[in-house]
Chain A
Amino acid sequence: MTTSAVTKTAEQPSRATHRVQRVVSPGGIEAWLVEEHAVPLVALEFAFLGGTAQDGAGKGGTATMLAGLLDEGAGPYDSAAFQQMLADRAIELRFYADRDTLRGSLKSLRRNADEAFDLLRLAVCEPRFDADAIARVRAQVEAGLRHVLKDPDAVSQEQFFRHAFPGHPYGRPPQGTLAEVPAITREDIAGMRSATVARSNLFVTAVGAIDAETLAARLDEIFGALPATAEVAPPADIVPATATAPVVVDIDVPQSVIRFGGPGVARRDADYLPAYVLNHILGGGAFTSRLFQEVREKRGLAYGVHTALLPLRNSTLFTGSTATKNERAAESLSVIRAEIADLLAKGPGEDELEKARQFLIGSYALHFDTSTKIARQLLQIAIDGLGIDYIDRRNDLVAAVTMADVRRAAERLFAGGEMLVVAVGRPEGL
């Protein structure tokens, strides 16, 4: 097989990305647009900086409830009427909150786009927060929390963040807890909306059957009535904690979820892409990664093993996980530790590095093959402040990552030698 091709200088991942336009509305709202008429739909993605890290003390779950309530009645329409207007036109409108942002996603057939935009305007500008809707969404958030209360994977995530970010907003469960959610009031929710849903911290991208002029006008109609300035104070910068002894949480199941990690590299740090390449080599998701080969292929220890860089806005995180039967949990963890130690001591092989660059360059186009995927990629690039031309530059940046860069990234990710390890189940030998 002809796998010896050297890394090519980046090709365009997508024809569409040649055509990212910066659209600025008369009122000064910016959006990035890819106009594409092949399929008669419009996809809009947007985010307000804020998110679950803004939840007040003892009020965890506020941002999640806010996201759940934005499509539960707005302007003249109660929840049922609002949902009916969306459903009758097959308009898909979703809001959700992560640690750093409150996000929304809108998808509509071209012929219903104007009505979709108007419903979005109502949702962000005039949400009602009716008492019955608050009660309903609260019950749904609580049911969601109960559903995963003893789920090993969910518990491992919660415990990992708790121990990595003790006392910090990032350490709290993003959906709150069963003790907190009942205490959230309408004032908490409305207060978070007025602080967060504003023009100064808004990012918007659009893909599909809409031109720049139309989008510019719609941006003012949708978002123009929002307050100019958000009142969001970002959480304090924090370095995730590591520990010498694993945190073990007992749940009576035959398999243990093992989650591990520590400090990562910030998204705009010069070492981010080297760390990203390193992560791909270690456990980035391809069947060729070291952990996949050592943990799954050679030893049959687990079905999946993955690692990732999670760049939070005020911290950095490198994390991975796997699930192994309790009797072999210690073996899995020691195989993972050995691969990390080997990458730190020796670095990857030249060929391994070359293959990783080839993969990351070649696969970039696969992130741009649907309207929603393009809009989401662009939105994240906008939020991260990487520039509207980043898609065109990105593959050259990956191609330029050298062995020295990757070794330096390994020093930064693994050099402390300590990781936070959380194991949930009945792991033996940890």
Chain B
Amino acid sequence: MTDTAPADLTPTATRHQAPEGAAAQTHTFRLDNGLDVVVIPDRRVPVVTHMVWYRNGSADDPAGKSGIAHFLEHLMFKGTAKHPAGEFSKVVSALGGQENAFTSYDYTAYFQRVAKEHLGTMMEFEADRMTGLVLSDDVVNPERDVVLEERRMRVETDPSAQLGEAMEAALYVHHPYGTPIIGWMHEIEGLNRADALAYYERFYTPENAILVVAGDVEAEEVRALADKTYGKVKPRGARPERQRTREPEPRALRKVTVADPKVEQPYVQRAYLVPSARTQTGSEAYALDVLAEILGGGATSVLYRELVMKRDIAVSAGAYYLSGMLDDSRFLVYAVPKPDISLDALDEALDGVIADFVARGVEPAELASAKTRLIAEMVYAADNQAHLARIYGAALAVGETVEEVDAWPARIEAVTAEEVVEAARRFLVARRAVIGHLAHAD
């Protein structure tokens, strides 16, 4: 099998996944200043993954300032009163460490991966830049150019990414998930030092942060180091509030098209507005996890079997679901047509496959197979400390608990065939959908 899923369909946000209980013994505690800590021991290699997550992402950008969360993430590498610009990176590099940061809709995170004896040094630097950032126009202005180049690279030169943006903007008619994480070009151009500092002072506080350490460490050792570093950061008294609008109940099927001369391989994609693990009222998110796997997880999925293997009208097809969001999330379906098949015909076929699936129900064997794969992912995740750190960090940053993460395999195991069909029947409907076409234009 050759994977031809468009790379741009890869979700930005990390999927909610949990490890097999036996494989990861996590420890959690809270410092006196309100900072949450998760420790995930992995004794196989003498390295640690050190991450700090802030409970703010692009969906918390003030109106008219889209991209500020991401811009600030870049500016966090520009030095503090105590450690001038570049010093942190030089230290990480001299210690043989790796570092980076990323911004998503609901969180922003910073990480270093180093030999375990350097953990304390990383914590000292990371705690320092929680409140000590110093910004001048000399560093802010070139960095804004860097972000503009990043947007040109990721979006302005890539019609697939433009379709993704257009679909999100159409799906979320009121909620800030409709605005790109990196921000709109014209608003990034207007971001300045004062915007960055105002945002920083609002959100970069101990109460708003989560420290995740995975690797060759003991929880008590992390606690002692955290008390000496992060523990010294003054609390603000309360966690900053996220002011999120709620998406209204959708009524209209929306269709968007990006047509561009650079598109030589068209495809269709659709996004359905669905609950997240946080906004579900029952166990819909777990049913949607299983539904995505049955409907669109690989070469044995319903979509692939029907559209690629049986009807021979697509070269690939699949689906995925992003459960780990603070607010209502999306379920995505895509199909890449064979050359003589129109996008409209493929849309019609997709509708047919979903309708047939709802009508026929779920076979016990395909339910069991999907659960096996989903739960196996947890064992595979336990092999990767950096991946584990991201799973726990992302979950806590959207308000889930460690217990919920650890219970995920059991919750998946408990999903019934009826719940899967009900999730499809209820959520994969036209009124909740945006259909996207990536098309060639002459």
A360-B96, A362-B95 are contacts. A72–B264 as well, Cβ < 8 Å?
A: no
Q: Apart from A41-B379, A87-B299, A365-B45, list 6 A-B contacts with CB within 8 A.
A: A3-B91, A14-B45, A146-B264, A253-B156, A358-B93, A359-B94
Question: Nearest-CB distance from A364 to chain B (Å)?
Answer: 7
Tell whether, in the assembled complex, residue B309 and residue A80 are in contact, meaning their CB atoms are under 8 Å apart.
yes
B178 at the interface (CB under 8 A from A): no
Tell whether, in the assembled complex, residue B156 and residue A297 are in contact, meaning their CB atoms are under 8 Å apart.
no
Segment of A32-40, A190-198, A399-407 in the binding face: A32-40
Segment of A44-52, A228-236, A298-306, A380-388 in the binding face: A298-306
A83-B300, A150-B262, A359-B93 are contacts. A325–B98 as well, Cβ < 8 Å?
A: no
Q: Could you tell me how many residues of chain B have their Cβ less than 8 Å away from some Cβ of chain A?
A: 78
Question: Which of B95, B157, B368, B380 has its CB near the most chain A CB atoms (within 10 A)?
Answer: B157
Tell whether, in the assembled complex, residue A140 and residue B2 are in contact, meaning their CB atoms are under 8 Å apart.
yes
Chain B residue numbers with a CB within 8 Å of A67 are: 2
Complex A-B: 12 CB contacts under 8 Å: A40-B379, A83-B300, A107-B380, A143-B265, A255-B152, A288-B90, A302-B146, A323-B152, A359-B95, A365-B45, A365-B46, A365-B96
A352 to B142, CA, bound (A): 24
A27 at the interface (CB under 8 A from B): no
Nearest neighbor of A424 in chain B, beta-carbon distance: B157
Question: Nearest-CB distance from A372 to chain B (Å)?
Answer: 7
Chain B residue numbers with a CB within 8 Å of A16 are: 44-45
Question: Nearest-CB distance from A350 to chain B (Å)?
Answer: 14
Q: Which residue of B87, B263, B265, B308 contacts A136 across the interface (Cβ within 8 Å)?
A: B308
- Give the B-binding residues of A (Cβ under 8 A): 1-3, 5, 13-16, 36, 38-41, 64, 67-68, 71-72, 79-80, 83-84, 87-90, 92, 107, 109, 136-137, 139-144, 146-147, 149-152, 251-255, 286-288, 293, 296-304, 323-325, 355, 358-366, 368-372, 425
Chain B positions 76-117 with a Cβ under 8 Å from a chain A Cβ = 77, 83, 86-87, 89-99, 113-115
Q: Which residue of B87, B300, B308, B384 contacts A87 across the interface (Cβ within 8 Å)?
A: B300
Q: Which residue of B89, B262, B373 contacts A288 across the interface (Cβ within 8 Å)?
A: B89
A302 to B95, CA, bound (A): 26
A304 to B150, CA, bound (A): 8
Tell whether, in the assembled complex, residue A1 and residue B149 are in contact, meaning their CB atoms are under 8 Å apart.
no
Nearest neighbor of B304 in chain A, beta-carbon distance: A83
Tell whether, in the assembled complex, residue B94 and residue A355 are in contact, meaning their CB atoms are under 8 Å apart.
yes
Tell whether, in the assembled complex, residue B46 and residue A372 are in contact, meaning their CB atoms are under 8 Å apart.
no
B131 at the interface (CB under 8 A from A): no
B243 at the interface (CB under 8 A from A): no
- B319-352: CB near A (< 8 Å → 1, else 0) gives 0000000000000000010110000000000000
Question: Nearest-CB distance from A189 to chain B (Å)?
Answer: 13
Chain B positions 1-50 with a Cβ under 8 Å from a chain A Cβ = 1-4, 6, 23, 42-47
Among all A-B residue pairs, the 7 with the closest Cβ atoms: A362-B96, A300-B145, A90-B376, A300-B142, A146-B265, A68-B2, A303-B150
A137 to B4, CA, bound (A): 10
Question: Which of A13, A147, A251 has its CB near the most chain B CB atoms (within 10 A)?
Answer: A147
Nearest neighbor of A13 in chain B, beta-carbon distance: B45
Tell whether, in the assembled complex, residue B299 and residue A15 are in contact, meaning their CB atoms are under 8 Å apart.
no
Tell whether, in the assembled complex, residue B146 and residue A15 are in contact, meaning their CB atoms are under 8 Å apart.
no
Tell whether, in the assembled complex, residue B156 and residue A89 are in contact, meaning their CB atoms are under 8 Å apart.
no
B382 at the interface (CB under 8 A from A): yes
Question: Nearest-CB distance from B128 to chain A (Å)?
Answer: 11
